[in-house]
């Protein structure tokens, strides 16, 4: 038996012999010699292991016929799997427009081009083209942000968590920050208000209760003295409880009341909006969301919000407000650690420019375009795609067009829903229903452009609100088994 194994092992082609194969040569041209040699070694090692295993189990190993083509095929499969990028395009048919796990806001072409140019070529990132001296990277977006929000000054960092962190660390390091117990929220699992306050080196002073917080609750903390006339509190923080709603017996002071109280005690009022919309969403029939403009008008000294939530831009944290405070933020060494890179800065500038023409915004800004898509249009799309989906699912499922409701996502407006339409796939037989659902979800996920939907009420739902590439979606359904 050992003799037979030895004969088979020595019948394996050598690495050099395989490297002569024309298809291996092609692989070298595509992937480079080093990777091909390394992969071929692994393929041969796998083959040897298989032969030994078959010999010890006293079974028969696969025949040595067509051995070379089979090894070459194994090489090609390994290389193809390795060459596939880890980060790939998907179809977000979850019904959540700003889906944190699926990349949040989609950039308009203007922003994509601006980012690509900034990345590929030298640019005046920190260079003053007029005077010829050193420039400041915030200048590329500051005047646009001031114009759009009415703020005196603006600065941008890596994300909104970074913006809140920088503001607190700059204004209140080592001191107290009163926050309402109703606003100690967690957003997306990793941003938790108490933890960010502690990480910024500040002491959280919880005030009020979960459902009701009064002005006097803040006042009690603001009246405490640290010594030498200085208050213990260094800023009042308001956090927009964006991803949940407290309803019923509730109370909280208005922004204007909080600002007035903070100013009476000579501390800034900082408002973290999370998802700052720069337009009144009600104009498009969408649920209203507090805007940075409103917060500033009510007296907030600094307002922080994300670039890639309702704003519809790249990941960024935006701070707008008083010039004196924004300048203090810029001087904090952490600003450098949190700064925004040139690609996203260029993309943000391009997105902000679209806001200068609000009338065309809903066509040009993908986030707003998807949020304002008409249910009738989505339903018509579902009707056109239902037959192809039925073909893809086979007889085990009934495919129907069903009404559903989309969410804005990313912590916005959790209680408000947008009427939409979905392809709904229900298993025909009740038996093994869950297994069928899971296998359909998995086969959608392994398509060339993975399709991500959701399982609800014993069916797979694909909310078509965010499907704009109808042809691309339909084509891969037809090609698949």
Q: Which stretch binds ligand PLP (CB under 6 A): 31-39, 270-278, 340-348, 427-435?
A: 270-278
Please identify which residue in 8, 175, 240, 342 interacts with ligand PLP, judged by CB under 6 A. Answer: 240
Could you please report the per-residue DSSP string of 208-265? S-SSB--HHHHHHHHH-EEETTEESB--EEEE--TT----SS-B---HHHHHHHHHHT
Please identify which residue in 170, 306, 367, 406 interacts with ligand PLP, judged by CB under 6 A. Answer: 306
* Residue 10: Cβ-neighbour burial (10 angstroms; 0-12, 13-18, 19+): exposed
Please identify which residue in 149, 170, 275, 294 interacts with ligand PLP, judged by CB under 6 A. Answer: 275
Is residue 473 a contact point for ligand PLP (CB under 6 A)?
no
Is residue 242 a contact point for ligand PLP (CB under 6 A)?
yes
Is residue 180 a contact point for ligand PLP (CB under 6 A)?
no
Q: Shortest approach of ligand PLP to residue 246 CB, angstroms? A: 14
Q: Shortest approach of ligand PLP to residue 346 CB, angstroms? A: 19
- Contact partners, residue 115, CB within 8 Å, separation at least 6: 107, 314, 343, 344, 346, 347, 350
Please identify which residue in 255, 272, 289, 463 interacts with ligand PLP, judged by CB under 6 A. Answer: 272
Q: Shortest approach of ligand PLP to residue 193 CB, angstroms? A: 8
Is residue 182 a contact point for ligand PLP (CB under 6 A)?
no
Binding mask 191-230 for ligand PLP (x = CB under 6 A): x---------------------------------------
Nearer to ligand PLP, 166 or 451 (CB): 166
Is residue 47 a contact point for ligand PLP (CB under 6 A)?
no
Backbone angles phi, psi at 148, to 5 degrees: -75, -30
Q: How far apart are CA 448 and CA 443, in angstroms?
A: 10
Is residue 160 a contact point for ligand PLP (CB under 6 A)?
yes
Please identify which residue in 108, 178, 253, 274 interacts with ligand PLP, judged by CB under 6 A. Answer: 274
Nearer to ligand PLP, 411 or 453 (CB): 411
Q: How far apart are CA 355 and CA 368, in angstroms?
A: 11
* DSSP 8-class letter at 62: P
CB 196 within 8 A of CB 168: yes
Please identify which residue in 253, 366, 411, 453 interacts with ligand PLP, judged by CB under 6 A. Answer: 411
Q: How far apart are CA 115 and CA 117, in angstroms?
A: 5
- For residue 418, give Cα distances in angstroms to 28, 94, 139, 299: 52, 13, 37, 32
CB 475 within 8 A of CB 418: no
For ligand PLP, which residue has the nearest CB? 274
CB 391 within 8 A of CB 478: yes
* Residue 135: Cβ-neighbour burial (10 angstroms; 0-12, 13-18, 19+): middle
Please identify which residue in 156, 157, 187, 444 interacts with ligand PLP, judged by CB under 6 A. Answer: 187
Is residue 276 a contact point for ligand PLP (CB under 6 A)?
no
Q: Shortest approach of ligand PLP to residue 343 CB, angstroms? A: 17
Q: Which residues are at the interface with ligand PLP (CB under 6 A)?
A: 159-161, 164, 187, 191, 239-240, 242, 272, 274-275, 306, 317, 411
């Amino acid at each position: 038996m050992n003799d037979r194994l030895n004969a088979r092992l020595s019948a394996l082609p050598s690495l050099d012999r395989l490297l002569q194969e024309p298809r291996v040569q092609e692989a070298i041209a595509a992937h480079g010699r080093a990777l091909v040699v390394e992969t071929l070694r692994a393929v041969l090692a796998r083959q040897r292991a298989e032969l030994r295993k078959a010999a010890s189990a006293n079974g028969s190993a696969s025949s040595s016929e067509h051995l070379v083509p089979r090894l070459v095929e194994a090489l090609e499969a390994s290389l193809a799997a390795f060459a596939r990028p880890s980060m790939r395009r998907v179809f977000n048919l979850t019904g959540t427009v700003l889906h944190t796990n699926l990349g949040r806001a989609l950039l308009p072409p203007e922003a994509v081009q601006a980012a690509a140019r900034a990345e590929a070529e030298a640019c005046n990132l920190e260079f003053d083209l007029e005077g010829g001296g050193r420039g400041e990277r915030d200048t590329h977006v500051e005047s646009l942000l001031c114009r759009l929000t009415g703020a005196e000054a603006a600065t941008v960092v890596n994300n909104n968590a970074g913006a809140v962190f920088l503001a607190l660390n700059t204004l209140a390091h080592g001191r107290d920050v009163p926050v309402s117990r109703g606003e100690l929220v967690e957003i997306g699992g990793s941003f938790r208000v108490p933890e960010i306050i502690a990480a910024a080196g500040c002491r959280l002073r919880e005030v009020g209760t979960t459902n009701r917080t009064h002005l006097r609750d803040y006042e009690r903390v603001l009246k405490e003295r640290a010594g030498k006339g200085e208050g213990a509190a260094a800023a009042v923080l308001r956090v927009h409880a964006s991803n949940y709603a407290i309803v019923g017996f509730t109370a909280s002071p208005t922004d204007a009341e909080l600002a007035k109280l903070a100013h009476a005690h000579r501390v800034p009022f900082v408002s973290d909006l999370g998802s700052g919309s720069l337009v009144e969403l009600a104009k498009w029939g969408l649920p209203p969301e507090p805007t940075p403009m409103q917060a500033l008008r009510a007296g907030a000294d600094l307002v922080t919000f994300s670039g890639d939530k309702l704003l519809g831009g790249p990941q960024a944290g935006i701070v707008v407000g008083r010039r004196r405070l924004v300048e203090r933020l810029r001087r904090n060494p952490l600003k450098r650690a949190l700064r925004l890179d040139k690609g996203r800065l260029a993309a943000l500038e391009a997105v902000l420019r679209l806001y200068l023409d609000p009338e065309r915004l809903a066509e040009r800004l993908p986030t707003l375009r998807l949020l304002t898509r008409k249910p009738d249009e989505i339903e018509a799309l579902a009707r056109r795609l239902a037959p192809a989906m039925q073909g893809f699912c086979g007889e085990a499922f009934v495919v129907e067009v069903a009404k559903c409701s989309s969410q804005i996502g990313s912590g916005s407006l959790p209680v408000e829903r947008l009427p939409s339409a979905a392809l709904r796939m229900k298993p025909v037989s009740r038996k093994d229903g869950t297994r069928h659902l899971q296998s359909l979800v998995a086969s959608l996920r392994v398509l060339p452009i993975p399709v991500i939907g959701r399982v609800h009420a014993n069916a797979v739902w694909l909310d078509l609100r965010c499907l704009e590439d109808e042809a691309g979606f339909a084509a891969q359904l037809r090609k698949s088994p």
